[in-house]
Structures are given as structure tokens and as C-alpha cells.
């Protein structure tokens, strides 16, 4: 491992573990609020926090008018559409099944990072990918043992599809980092998602009318998602792209998977079995492979996926 990288790998593991509480918190909130209204609230709160911080620190916004349609589209896909898939998948399959579906997020995000950012990949990344796929399969089989094929497969398809869109917002932050502060980038994406979700709530009549009648557990869960998940965790993960390549950082999502599964079992009594433990072990093995890839570039040949393109001021989506 490269000297100095360990602290960033450790931070990535801690952030993903804390983020693993989000499915449990969302499950509690969704007992009182519809998916559309819940998403609108959380991205309104977190988006305005990021926007206020960026304005206070920098005095103005750096985004050009021509950037706004592109950023709005990324925000709708990466946050709004992603939320619809992940939250409805959570409602169908529960917290534990959500955690199992998250096991494939590493492969999805790593693939998008390689394609969009033109990152070079180490041959060991394929080993990590196989371990992640094996871990995801073991977790799926474990869930199938305690559930039904329809529940397992239906929620998996919703969540995996959502993660494709989430990965786009994650990797495009690196393309825009020379154009605007990270906090401004996240703010514009989340506010775009909030506007879209409020519009969808209005169109479908699914407003969060019960928000003021939620019990303490609901409010605590909502504040955790708004402040910790959508602000602190998102900021730190996007910031870590400055120190860890996107396709490597993606594999730390396994800590989110394992933590979400443990919290789901502990808080809601969702069943757990040996196949799920094996799956978690395989996912951890994938992270170990990834964290050791920086040990020696002399002994490991890097495989260029694409030839680097000339740097220009124009970003094409």
C-alpha cells in the first residue's frame, strides 16, 4: 500500500459503515412518509445546507449558466431516480435485502468510473470484481432461503438500476472539480433532485403530510439521513475521490452492505444465515485486494481501458 493512503482507506471504511445505518433509518421514516415526499425533504434540507456553506465560503457560485441543465440532469438521475429505485426496493424487500443488493454497487460504480473517468486499472481489480460478484451471489442465495424469489429479485433489480444513476453523479464530480467547489456541485445536484421530487409529489398527490405527526424515532431518523447521510457522508465520499481512484473507492461499499445487514438484523429482527456471512467475507476480501493494489506499481502492470483524452473546458454528458 502506498505510504499515506491508509488513512484515506480507513476513512472510506468508516464513512461507509456509518452510511450503513441509512437503510434502517429510511425504513423507519417510510412508515410515516411516502417515498416521493421523503426524498424531497431530505434533498431540500441537505441541498440548502451545501448551498449556504458554499456561498458563505466562496461568496458566489462558480457554475456557468450553460452548466445548469447538465448539472440538473445529473442531479435528477443520480439523486431523484436513484432514490425512487432504492427506496421502493427497500419497501419491497426490507433492510437486509437492500443491503444484499448494495453488494453489487462496487462493481457498478467501479465500471462507471473506469468508463467515464478513463481510469487505468490494475489486473487485480478483476480478482476483486470476482470476489464481489461471488459475495453478492452468496448474499442473494442466503436471502432467498429466508424469503421468496419474487421479493429478492424484484428489489434487487430496482436497487441495481438505481445505483447505475447514482454512480454517474459520483464520477462526474471529478470532471467538474476544476470548474466549481465540491459543495456547490453537490448542492446543485441535490436541489435539482429536490425540485424534481416535489414536482413528482405534487403530480401524484404523495405529499409528506404526516411529517409533523411523526414520533421521536421518525424525526431522529429523518435528521440522521438529512444531516449525516446526505451531507457528511456524501461530502466525504466525493472528497475521497481526490485521494483514491474511483474504481478502488467503489469497493469500500462492502462496509455499507455488511453494516446495513447487521443493523437490519439487529433493529428489525430480519433473519440472517451462514450464506450471508460467507458473502460478507468475500466482499471484505475484495476490499483487501483493492487496498493492496497500490503496494507496487513496478510489479503490477496497469491496463489502460481508454487512451487519455486531451483536457478541455467542455464536459459532454
Give me the pLDDT at residue 55, please.
94
Asked if pLDDT for residue 79 goes beyond 60, the answer is yes
Q: Which of 134, 103, 104, 147 is nearest to 271 (CA)?
A: 147
Secondary structure class of 205 (helix, strand, coil):
coil
295 confidence band (pLDDT: 50, 70, 90): very low
Strand residue runs (E) in 114-272: 120-122
More confident residue, 4 or 128: 128
Q: In this predicted model, what pLDDT tens digit does every residue of 265-276 receive, in sequence order?
A: 888 887 777 887
Span 89-107, pLDDT tens digits: 888 778 877 776 676 666 6
- Local confidence band at 132 (pLDDT 50, 70, 90 cut-offs): confident
From residue 306, alpha-carbon distances to 13, 119, 206, 247 in Å are: 29, 8, 45, 14
Report yes or no on whether pTM surpasses 0.85: no
CA 38 to chain CA centroid, nearest Å: 17
Spatial CB neighbours of 14, under 8 Å, sequence gap ≥ 6: none
| CA–CA distances in Å: residue 62 to residues 171, 217, 261 | 19, 39, 40
Q: What percent of the chain is modeled with pLDDT above 90? A: 28
pLDDT at 42 over 60: yes
Amino acid at each position: 500500500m502506498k505510504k499515506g493512503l491508509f488513512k484515506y482507506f480507513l476513512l472510506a471504511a468508516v464513512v461507509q459503515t456509518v452510511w450503513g445505518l441509512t437503510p434502517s433509518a429510511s425504513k423507519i421514516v417510510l412508515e410515516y412518509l411516502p417515498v416521493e415526499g421523503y426524498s424531497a425533504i431530505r434533498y431540500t434540507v441537505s441541498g440548502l445546507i451545501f448551498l449556504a456553506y458554499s456561498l458563505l465560503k466562496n461568496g458566489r457560485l462558480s457554475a456557468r449558466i450553460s452548466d445548469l441543465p447538465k448539472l440538473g440532469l445529473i442531479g435528477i438521475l443520480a439523486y431523484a431516480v436513484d432514490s425512487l429505485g432504492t427506496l421502493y426496493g427497500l419497501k419491497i424487500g426490507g433492510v437486509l435485502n437492500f443491503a444484499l443488493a448494495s453488494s453489487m454497487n462496487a462493481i457498478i460504480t467501479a465500471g462507471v468510473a473506469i468508463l467515464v473517468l478513463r481510469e487505468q486499472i490494475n489486473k487485480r481489480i478483476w480478482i476483486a470484481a470476482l470476489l464481489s460478484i461471488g459475495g453478492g451471489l452468496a448474499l442473494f442465495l442466503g436471502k432467498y432461503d429466508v424469503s421468496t424469489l419474487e421479493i429478492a429479485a424484484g428489489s434487487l433489480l430496482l436497487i441495481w438500476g438505481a445505483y447505475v444513476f447514482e454512480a454517474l453523479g459520483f464520477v462526474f464530480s471529478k470532471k467538474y472539480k476544476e470548474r466549481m467547489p465540491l459543495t456547490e456541485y453537490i448542492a446543485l445536484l441535490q436541489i435539482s433532485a429536490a425540485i424534481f421530487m416535489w414536482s413528482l409529489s405534487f403530480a401524484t398527490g404523495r405529499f409528506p403530510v404526516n411529517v409533523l405527526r411523526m414520533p421521536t424515532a421518525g424525526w431522529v431518523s429523518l435528521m440522521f439521513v438529512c444531516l449525516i447521510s446526505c451531507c457528511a457522508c456524501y461530502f466525504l465520499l466525493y472528497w475521497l475521490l481526490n485521494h483514491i481512484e474511483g474504481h478502488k473507492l467503489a469497493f469500500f461499499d462492502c462496509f455499507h452492505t455488511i453494516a446495513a445487514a447487521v443493523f437490519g438484523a439487529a433493529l428489525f429482527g430480519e433473519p440472517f444465515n451462514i450464506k450471508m456471512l460467507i458473502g460478507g467475507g468475500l466482499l471484505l476480501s475484495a476490499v483487501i485486494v483493492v487496498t493492496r493494489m497500490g503496494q507496487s506499481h513496478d510489479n503490477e502492470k496497469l491496463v489502460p481501458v481508454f487512451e487519455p483524452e486531451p483536457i478541455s473546458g467542455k464536459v459532454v454528458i
